[in-house]
A and B are shown apart, each in its own frame.
Chain A
Amino acid sequence: MGRFGRWLRDHPNFLAKTYAFAERFVKGLAPLLEKIGYDRVERIIKPPEDWAKSLVFGCQMCGQCILHSTGMTCPMTCPKNLRNGPCGGVRLNGHCEVKPEMRCVWVEAFERSEKMTVYSNEMRILQPPVNRELGHRSAWVTMLTEEDQIVSPGWER
């Protein structure tokens, strides 16, 4: 990620606000995008989305993005894929149980969420199980089609 990535990492609030803006922007475009057809939109939007989110967040393309609820830190980069982390295996230096050289994703998420002025309360949300059917889909499109809102009984979004 280099210097740019590190700068972003230290400015989670900037990321969160950018996300908030992007979300409003995309939702505003929804009527137009629907006219174009979400299939076609997804073909266009997915490659740049994948590229940018991989570069900045290490995105795994789970297709149901909750970045803004987890301190602008991708929970799918946790080796256990925890959506409600951290697990009990975090090392005393705050590093990952599985990858000792890596800081725990959830330690970072917690720290960053404290620096955020928007969304930081969303860390408390119970995140439902991952819908594996949405893997390798564009999270922007699944957000607009509300496919990412479908949950099993006992869960609410």
Chain B
Amino acid sequence: MVDTKLEYHSGSRLERVLKAGRFAVTAELNPPDSAEPQEVYDAALVLSQVCDAINATDASGANTHMSSVAICALLTRAGYEPVFQVSCRDRNRIAIQGDILGAAAMGVRNLLCLTGDDTTAGDQPQAKRVFDLDSIHLLRIAKTMRDESKLMSGRDLTSPPRLFLGAASNPFVPPYDWRPRRLAKKVKAGANFIQTQYCFDVDRFEKFMQVVRDMGLDEKVYILVGVGPLRSERAAEFMRTKVPGVVIPDEIVDRLRKSPKEKKRKVGKQICIEIIQQVREIKGIAGVHIMAYKQEELVAEIIEESRLLPRPRQPGAQPDDPLHQRRRWDRGG
């Protein structure tokens, strides 16, 4: 049915790393509330040295930040490998297809197709929710653009976008029995790789993977497990009550609560490293995706201490590159 693991679809480095059978590492870049490209480059420099691709989130949690397409364009300019996240919440099919072409023209080779958190999750619940498409529609549309060189309208593209297609999966929320089948739908729609929601419940994840393997899905799609450090029990409490789809078992929250104040960050990091080590042992796992919300400085430590270094280098800008010398671009730098 799907030959995603056999042929190359794109010029994506992430795809090459995965196809070479290396355990992949991706990390999320928290987009700035700013019009200053330097802030993107500062965050990217830290991440690029320890991971294979950098995810640019699309107004995650329904909060406005610098757009994911612009962040990706900045990153490709400097030679980094971005994963362009597209959510269906804010744009209709006309805008999204245009953004996919634009991003591909800017050198973006990875696309993560998401339905998106609802507008009520963010700081502007007054906004209109779009949801013209869902994530599965988006996957199939991008696949059709890539493989058949056609827009949804049937109009031909003179040059198709070469993309490695990704989707999300959340095995940690009901209906649990349906989750592997939803993953199967995404694979059928065109997903080449999966980045999961935060994994804090390894037992639940193992059960999910058992079914995924029984269905043979791990042969068709690369699964990267979402992980991340928790700063404190308060941060954990916030995430599991306010961020849609994040499940954190009580044991983990208790472990943070019981640790002394000055050690909480360290314990949070330790928990993350332990989870990475546990999920690495699960058959069918191709990598990890690290989401360290407002703690990017920890990403390098987590990857290093999980013994996932060295990474194949991203050709991107080096620390002494002019891109990383502090300057204000808007003043002509």
Given contacts A89-B118, A90-B175, A91-B173, contact A84 B141 (CB under 8 A): no
In the complex, the chain B residue whose C-beta lies closest to that of A153 is B150
One of B78-86, B131-139, B269-277, B323-331 at the interface: B131-139
Among A88, A91, A106, the one with the most B-chain Cβ atoms within 10 Å of its Cβ is A88
Instruction: State which size class the interface on B falls in.
Output: 35 or more
Q: Are B136 and A84 in contact, CB atoms less than 8 angstroms apart? A: yes
Q: Are A84 and B129 in contact, CB atoms less than 8 angstroms apart? A: no
Q: Would you call the interface of chain A mostly helix, strand, loop, or mixed?
A: loop
Q: Are A86 and B117 in contact, CB atoms less than 8 angstroms apart? A: no
A105 to chain B, nearest CB (A): 11
In the complex, the chain B residue whose C-beta lies closest to that of A99 is B120
Specify which chain A residues have a CB less than 8 angstroms from the CB of B169 in the assembled complex.
88
Q: Is A48 an interface residue (CB 8 A)?
A: no
Specify which chain A residues have a CB less than 8 angstroms from the CB of B50 in the assembled complex.
none
Given contacts A88-B170, A92-B174, A126-B188, contact A80 B153 (CB under 8 A): no
One of B23-31, B177-185, B307-315 at the interface: B177-185
B130 to chain A, nearest CB (A): 10
Q: Are B177 and A89 in contact, CB atoms less than 8 angstroms apart? A: no
In the complex, the chain B residue whose C-beta lies closest to that of A97 is B244
Q: Is A110 an interface residue (CB 8 A)?
A: yes
Specify which chain A residues have a CB less than 8 angstroms from the CB of B134 in the assembled complex.
80-85, 87
A19 to chain B, nearest CB (A): 22
B326 to chain A, nearest CB (A): 38
Q: Is A52 an interface residue (CB 8 A)?
A: no
Residue-wise interface mask of A (118-138) relative to B, using a CB-CB cutoff of 8 A (1 in contact, 0 not): 000001101111101000000
Q: Is A104 an interface residue (CB 8 A)?
A: yes
Specify which chain A residues have a CB less than 8 angstroms from the CB of B150 in the assembled complex.
153-154
Given contacts A84-B137, A98-B120, A107-B175, contact A89 B245 (CB under 8 A): yes
Q: Is A94 an interface residue (CB 8 A)?
A: yes
Residue-wise interface mask of B (90-123) relative to A, using a CB-CB cutoff of 8 A (1 in contact, 0 not): 0001000000000000000000000101101100
Specify which chain B residues have a CB less than 8 angstroms from the CB of A110 in the assembled complex.
175, 177-178
User: With the chains together, A86 CA to B183 CA distance in Å?
Assistant: 11
In the complex, the chain A residue whose C-beta lies closest to that of B147 is A154
Q: Are A92 and B137 in contact, CB atoms less than 8 angstroms apart? A: no
Q: Are A89 and B185 in contact, CB atoms less than 8 angstroms apart? A: no
Given contacts A83-B134, A128-B137, A152-B152, contact A89 B129 (CB under 8 A): no
Q: Is B38 an interface residue (CB 8 A)?
A: no
Partner of B247, one of A85, A92, A129, A132: A92
Not counting A79-B129, A89-B173, A126-B188, a sample of 19 additional A-B residue pairs whose C-beta atoms are within 8 angstroms of each other reads: A80-B118, A82-B131, A83-B134, A84-B182, A86-B178, A88-B169, A88-B170, A89-B244, A89-B245, A91-B174, A92-B173, A97-B245, A111-B175, A126-B136, A126-B185, A129-B93, A129-B133, A129-B137, A152-B152
